[in-house]
């Protein structure tokens, strides 16, 4: 029985009925147990008091069996009617009946892909059979928008869903909101321990492998993991549990190993997990939001990279943790804790732009703006996506940018060359502006200084390419160079000294060279923070600037950064002359200081 075409015929029959503005259909094609982005949007709409009527088509409705005859009857009648007359349809997977549907022009269809980010390739990015590829293209011709978690992955999603990039909107992934809310993790843990007593007194290591698009390999998947050895070598600290991908039906979890495949909410499970052992699964993208250890057990890496679907980004270069191909390496890595949280953070920021609990809000406000259908405005104190967009032009006209230069990753944290990053951290703390949004190739955060809207930035391009990030932000917010303040290190100034200028040359600083090149001018204000001092005999300049401050230098730097905050605030209020008078050390003052020493 071709349920796809039968359902499409039923849908097309009911298309003659009027589309209801307040009717919404959620299609849970991938069974998530009633959780995830689809239902997070429903809850957000209900929280806002929107007069919407929600109807759900579930994965189980498609089961062709005698026991599900009532379900099939409801699917082809009542549920087909509700879908055909819905003004909004939200999906969490490709819904193949749509290839044969005549969807009303007034109906908005939104794809909320169940997997976060774009780790391994899927859909149109893989080698599909021509007939299936053609069907997929027909399906997504009927889709209005595809939602993505980051601007970085819009092109990947466009390829995967066979649509123009303009259909892909990077306004967040609602199911990620969960990780930025408060939860009773202890209660979740106790619930797990009730079902799996072997977890008591030990950390949870979750092995979550993905499918291989090969039934034989899926069947043999767990035979490549030596569960007894892991228990023997790592069991004192970790209890290993398994969660298989929903498409793995044939691989059997050993009886002595907790099988968490059926746990209803994977987000709840990840919240209780101390160490994730993944392979090529997008579950690593979701878990990376928690900034906890990730290991990749890729025993068949060579085969997977050569034969299977492949990745959107270089697997080895962007991996969120060590890639291990043998049980020897895996067990050793667990014992030695050889993971890298810096890589986890970088991985999270590659696939996500939003590190907050507001993605469901953004989606709800985009499709159901305040005042629609006679609904009241959003709850007091709640920002709205629609308002943000309506006010954007007005707000960005007077936006000012304050950027600190440095190099990303923990390797460079606290080094002399990263003084600019330290300054932004100080400003973030002083102004209460969270710098946690990944935009314009930078970590950013926006707020106000005495009524002046500002954007704090830490470019992630590495120092020598800082101009790429600054130019991207300047173009987006229509900011003139005179309203871009750059904070960076100066080897010619002693620690604790500042020099403030309205414009000037790069002075040999590669980050400033890049900014001047990309902006096409040098007329932007800057605060130079001294990192100079005595180098060890024969020490290379690069080694020196990438080194750390001494204890005495740190004390001077702390005072300098306090002054940077005060100076930046004055500059944001167009008081750069006052900032220079109060906090800048001129050449003569520095010469006098040297003479006194």
CA 36/CA 176 separation, integer angstroms: 9
Round to whole Å and give the CA distance between 26 and 43.
12
Indicate if 417 belongs to the active site. Answer: yes
The torsion angle over the Cα atoms of residues 174, 56, 247 and 140, rounded to 10 degrees, is -70
Alpha-carbon distance 517 to 467, whole Å?
A: 7
Site of tokens 């502006």: 433
Both structure tokens of 375 = 């609904």
Rounded CA separation 132/243 (Å): 29
C-beta atoms surrounding 317 within 10 Å = 6
Catalytic member of 417, 438, 440, 509:
417
Q: Select from 476, 489, 472, 372 the least CA-distant residue to 420.
A: 489
CA atoms within 13 A on the CB side of 381: 0
Q: Cα(8)–Cα(101) distance, rounded to whole angstroms?
A: 5
C-alpha dihedral sign at 585, 590, 592, 593: positive
Cα–Cα nearest to 207, from 120, 93, 327: 327
- Cα-based distances in Å from 219 to 242, 247, 501: 15, 11, 66
Query: Kindly report the CA angle at 304 between 340 and 117, in degrees rounded to 5?
Result: 55
Torsional class of 221: left (φ above 0), alpha (ψ -120 to 50), beta (otherwise): alpha
Tokens 């710098």 belong to residue: 435
CA-based R_g, the chain, Å: 27
Put residue 123 in one of left, alpha, beta given phi > 0 → left and psi -120 to 50 → alpha. left
Spatial separation of the C-alpha atoms in residues 497 and 484, rounded to whole Å: 21
Dihedral of the CA atoms 207, 333, 350, 128 (nearest 10)?
Answer: -50
**Helix (H) and strand (E) counts for the chain?**
24, 18
Paired with 206 in beta bridges are 241, 276
Helix segments in 215-369, DSSP class H: 215-220, 227-234, 266-271, 283-288, 301-307, 315-318, 327-336, 341-351, 359-367
What amino acid positions are annotated as catalytic residues? 417
């Amino acid at each position: 029985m071709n349920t796809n075409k039968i359902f499409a015929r039923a849908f097309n029959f009911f298309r003659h009925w009027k589309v209801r503005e307040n009717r919404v259909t959620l299609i849970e094609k991938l069974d998530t147990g009633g959780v995830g982005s689809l239902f997070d949007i429903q809850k957000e709409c209900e929280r806002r008091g929107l007069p919407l009527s929600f109807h759900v088509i579930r994965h189980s409705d498609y089961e062709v069996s005698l026991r599900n005859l009532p379900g099939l009857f409801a699917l082809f009648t009542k549920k087909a009617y509700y879908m055909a007359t819905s003004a909004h349809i939200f999906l969490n997977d490709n819904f193949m009946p749509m290839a044969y549907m005549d969807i009303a022009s007034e109906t908005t269809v939104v794809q909320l892909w169940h997997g976060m980010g774009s780790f391994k390739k899927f859909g149109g990015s893989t080698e599909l059979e021509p007939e299936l590829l053609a069907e997929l293209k027909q399906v997504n011709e009927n889709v209005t928008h595809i939602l993505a978690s980051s601007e970085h992955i819009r092109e990947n999603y466009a390829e995967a869903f066979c649509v123009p990039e303009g259909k892909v909107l990077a306004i967040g992934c609602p199911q990620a909101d969960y990780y930025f809310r408060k939860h009773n993790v202890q209660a979740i843990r106790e619930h797990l321990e009730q079902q799996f007593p072997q977890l008591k007194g030990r950390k949870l290591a979750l092995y979550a492998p993905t499918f291989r698009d090969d039934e034989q390999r899926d069947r043999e998947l767990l035979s490549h993991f030596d569960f007894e050895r892991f228990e023997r070598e790592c069991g004192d600290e970790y209890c290993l549990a398994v969660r298989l991908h929903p498409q793995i039906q044939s691989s059997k979890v050993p009886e002595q190993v907790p099988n968490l495949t059926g746990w209803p909410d994977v987000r709840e499970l990840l919240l209780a997990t101390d160490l994730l052992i993944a392979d090529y699964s997008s579950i690593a993208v979701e878990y990376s939001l928690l900034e906890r250890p990730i290991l990749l057990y890729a025993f068949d890496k060579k085969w997977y990279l050569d034969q299977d679907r492949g990745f959107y980004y270089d697997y080895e270069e962007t991996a969120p943790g060590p890639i291990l191909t043998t049980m020897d390496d895996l067990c050793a890595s667990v014992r030695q804790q050889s993971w890298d949280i810096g890589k986890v953070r970088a991985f999270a920021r590659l696939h996500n732009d939003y590190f907050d609990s507001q993605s469901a809000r953004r989606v709800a406000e985009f499709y159901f703006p305040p005042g629609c259908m006679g609904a009241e405005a959003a709850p007091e104190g709640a920002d709205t996506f629609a308002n943000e967009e309506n006010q954007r032009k007005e707000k960005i006209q007077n936006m000012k940018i304050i950027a600190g230069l440095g190099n990303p990753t923990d390797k460079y944290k606290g080094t002399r060359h990263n003084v600019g990053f330290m300054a932004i951290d100080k400003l973030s703390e002083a102004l209460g502006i969270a710098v946690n949004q990944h935009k314009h190739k930078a970590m950013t955060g926006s707020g106000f200084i005495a009524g002046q809207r500002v954007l704090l930035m830490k470019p992630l391009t590495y120092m020598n390419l800082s101009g790429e990030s600054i130019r991207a932000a300047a173009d987006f917010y229509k900011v003139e160079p005179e309203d871009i303040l750059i904070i960076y290190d100066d080897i010619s100034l002693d620690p604790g000294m500042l020099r403030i200028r309205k414009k000037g040359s790069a002075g040999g600083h590669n980050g400033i060279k890049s900014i001047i090149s990309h902006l096409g001018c040098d007329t932007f204000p800057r605060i130079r923070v001294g990192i100079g001092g005595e180098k060890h005999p024969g020490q290379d300049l690069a080694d020196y600037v990438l080194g750390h401050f001494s204890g005495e230098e740190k004390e001077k730097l702390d005072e300098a950064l306090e002054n940077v905050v005060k100076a930046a605030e004055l500059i944001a209020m167009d008081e750069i002359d006052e900032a220079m008078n109060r906090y800048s050390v001129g050449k003569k003052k520095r010469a006098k200081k040297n003479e006194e020493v």
